[in-house]
Structure 1
Amino acid sequence: MGGGLMTNIEICDSVPTFASVSLPIMPLLTSSDYRPPRYLFNGHLQTIIPSQFRKIREISYSRERISTEDGDFLLLDWSSIKSSQLVIVSHGLEGDSHRPYILGMVRAFNRAGFDALAWNFRGCGGEINQTYRFYHSGATPDLHFLVNYVKNQYQYKSIVLVGFSLGGNLTLKYLGEQREALVNEVQAAVVFSVPLDLQACSRKIAEPENFIYSKRFLRNLKKKIRNKEAIMPDKISSEFFPQIRSLEDFDNYYTAPLHGFRNAADYYHQCSSIRFLQSIRVPTLVVSAKNDPFLAPECYLTKESETTDYLHFQAPESGGHCGFMPRSYSSGQNFWSENRAVEFVNDVLVSHNN
């Protein structure tokens, strides 16, 4: 990507769909009211503690299984309150609809009057998917299929997209690709802890201080490969495992070839959402903590010229990766990220409807 954040970005010159929307915030937010608990004094603790110890028991999903056009399936977990508004929530690498950060966001939007749909990427919902391909940071055809499925099968007046980490990158890339072709029902998006530059972040997570995360991701990804090898040994093999020491190695040997990329570098270039940011034409908020252990400097927008009237960026000093636990936390309380997402979305919908 070079040194500049906006290298090779595609720019759309047509009239924006939401030209009349005026939000009460600036595109580049230089401050934040988020404060972590005092005992979570660094980005690692702010990442790990909420992930491992937060429990949310109020959400009881209704699961729907839908068939894709290529003979596979997606598992959708619904939390419905019979609303005319829907939030679609996308999880991160090796996540699923039951991760605490997903359940917390689902609950927060239910409380705010939205139905919620937390979808599982291929192979992430407790079942091995049926094709040799699975999911990756730029697999937007599945999100496109899902959005259109919801539009055609249900009667929602407003659809909001929320994504975390890999799911955030996927969401931003999708919005940028769609530009003016996005269905009218999709009216806002909020993403957290997004690796806008995949190449830079693959190097960041390979640093020694991030060994614990890299090891965990690789263990889970290798398990998926072994499970698939057991049912389709003619298409997938674990023979390359001895060569894999990092996520970039995994992407070179598996993610890239399985999904039509030349190598990891080609995959990272084509799928980094930073290339699509200025093509986004719905109000979108990107939130990334400055102490996120996963994110490289290239993932932070620092100039007004890197944002737009539709793309808003906020970088709290703290929060970790998909963390943002409030300073004084009690069971049942929303996290700061959840309140922030609901606040932004409500501002967008009020402005759009006026």
Structure 2
Amino acid sequence: MTDGSGDRLIAEVHEGEEAARERPLVLLIHGLTGCADSAYIRNTARVLLAAGFAVVRMNLRGAGPTAGSGASASRFHYHAGRSEDLRDFLTGLREQDSALCAQGFHLAGYSLGANMMLKFLAEYGRDFPVRAAVSVSAPLDLKATQVRMMAPRNRLYQNYLLERMKAETSAAVLEQAGITREALQKLENIFQYDDRVIAPANGFDGAEDYYRRCSSGAFLEAVAVPSLVIHAANDPWIPASSYMAALSLENPQVRTLLLEKGGHVGFHGRGGEMAWHDAAIRAVFAKAA
């Protein structure tokens, strides 16, 4: 579907069996530098399709087929707080196939996509028939995540992630940010990318303002949709301290689980077993169907 900017929001739709239309439609939202074809997204989709749900694997704006600087590239780009894209995408889904959406929605978000999802639920959740949501490894505190990501132990992964972020960046986004591609390639860390690209391209007063205004932890009190928030204390990139406030939250709609192990979106099963987070998502959605 195309929004008012001319950008396309592209997704893969799996309608499943005919009975799936009697259950809420599941929307899966990937993380930073991911896409609808990311392994963790495809794995969850398989689990939920087998459980009788219809599933939509969403590409965030500027991800997957619309990444980079090709003819199909998005003019704008996703970021941790771009919750209006989820609003517009769900609106478009209902307009295009009201029968598929007749029973409402379940949402599952991962990492940056989970942060965006939680912010969406606080801001727009009451405007949509969202029945349940699950967040996996959300960076509830973007500043704390940036600091942890830039720790010496995470240098290799940060460099890998930064190169992928640069590759995703379209010429239009560079123009909005007021930075050349040559200058982009010289950025050395995540903070510089957020400060020189994400913030100016999206109307934030630098990276610190972006982190403050888009960290989903500050939005949890306003979430009015039954939501499970999952995180692992040994996540190497998102500190467990980010979840302390969420654990003591008095909002009855939000349940937070801080597990000892699991890494980052890494609650993997042994051998060929299903990932624990996929089993949790399936259980939550089945109960709320």
- Partners in 1 of 2:256 and 2:89 — Cα distance? 26
| In the alignment, structure 1 residue 67 sits paired with structure 2 residue 13 | no
- Partners in 2 of 1:231 and 1:335 — Cα distance? 38
Larger relative helix fraction? 2
Distance 1:235 1:244, change over 3 A: closer
Cα offset for 1:346? 1.8
- Partners in 2 of 1:146 and 1:303 — Cα distance? 28
Greater Rg by CA: 1
Cα offset for 1:232? 6.4
- Partners in 1 of 2:167 and 2:280 — Cα distance? 35
Distance 1:152 1:132, change over 3 A: closer
- Partners in 2 of 1:74 and 1:161 — Cα distance? 17
- Kindly provide the amino acid, as one letter, of the partner of residue 337 in structure 1: H
**Does the residue aligned with 1:163 lie in a helix, a strand or coil?**
strand
Q: Deviation per CA, 1:205-264: give whole Å up to 9, x if none.
A: 101111122111111112233x52799699652243365221011000000001111100
Instruction: Give 1:33's aligned residue.
Output: none
CA contact (8 A) 2:179 2:196 kept: no
- Partners in 2 of 1:131 and 1:324 — Cα distance? 32
CA contact (8 A) 1:257 1:263 kept: yes
Q: Deviation per CA, 1:29-83: give whole Å up to 9, x if none.
A: xxxxxxxxxxxxxxxxxxxxxxxxxxxxxxxxxxxxx111111111111122142
Instruction: Give 2:59's aligned residue.
Output: 120
Cα offset for 1:335? 1.2
| In the alignment, structure 1 residue 249 sits paired with structure 2 residue 192 | yes
CA contact (8 A) 2:143 2:211 kept: yes
| In the alignment, structure 1 residue 93 sits paired with structure 2 residue 32 | yes
**Does the residue aligned with 2:232 lie in a helix, a strand or coil?**
coil
One of 116, 136, 144 as aligned partner of 2:87: 144
One of 257, 266, 273 as aligned partner of 1:314: 257
**Does the residue aligned with 1:301 lie in a helix, a strand or coil?**
helix
Instruction: Give 1:183's aligned residue.
Output: 128
Cα offset for 1:116? 0.6
Cα offset for 1:295? 0.8
Distance 1:142 1:229, change over 3 A: closer
Cα offset for 1:326? 1.2
Cα offset for 1:133? 2.3
Give 1:3-14 correspondences, 5 Å limit: none
Superposition TM-score, scaled by structure 2 size: 0.89
- Kindly provide the amino acid, as one letter, of the partner of residue 347 in structure 1: K
Give 1:286-305 correspondences, 5 Å limit: 286-301=229-244, 305=248
CA contact (8 A) 2:75 2:172 kept: no
Gaps of 5+ in 1: 1-65, 350-354
Give 1:327-346 correspondences, 5 Å limit: 327=270, 329-330=271-272, 333-346=273-286
- Partners in 2 of 1:267 and 1:302 — Cα distance? 20
Instruction: Give 2:287's aligned residue.
Output: 347
Cα offset for 1:108? 1.0
Q: Deviation per CA, 1:76-108: give whole Å up to 9, x if none.
A: 111221422311000000001111110011111
CA contact (8 A) 1:198 1:272 kept: yes
Instruction: Give 1:193's aligned residue.
Output: 137
Distance 1:230 1:87, change over 3 A: closer
| In the alignment, structure 1 residue 218 sits paired with structure 2 residue 157 | no
Gaps of 5+ in 2: none
Instruction: Give 1:46's aligned residue.
Output: none
- Partners in 2 of 1:315 and 1:233 — Cα distance? 38
In percent, how many aligned pairs have the same letter? Answer: 30
RMSD, matched Cα: 2.2
Cα offset for 1:297? 3.4
Cα offset for 1:123? 1.9
**Does the residue aligned with 2:65 lie in a helix, a strand or coil?**
coil
Alignment: residue pair count: 278
Superposition TM-score, scaled by structure 1 size: 0.74
CA contact (8 A) 2:145 2:239 kept: yes
Cα offset for 1:151? 2.1
Cα offset for 1:130? 4.8
- Partners in 2 of 1:230 and 1:209 — Cα distance? 30
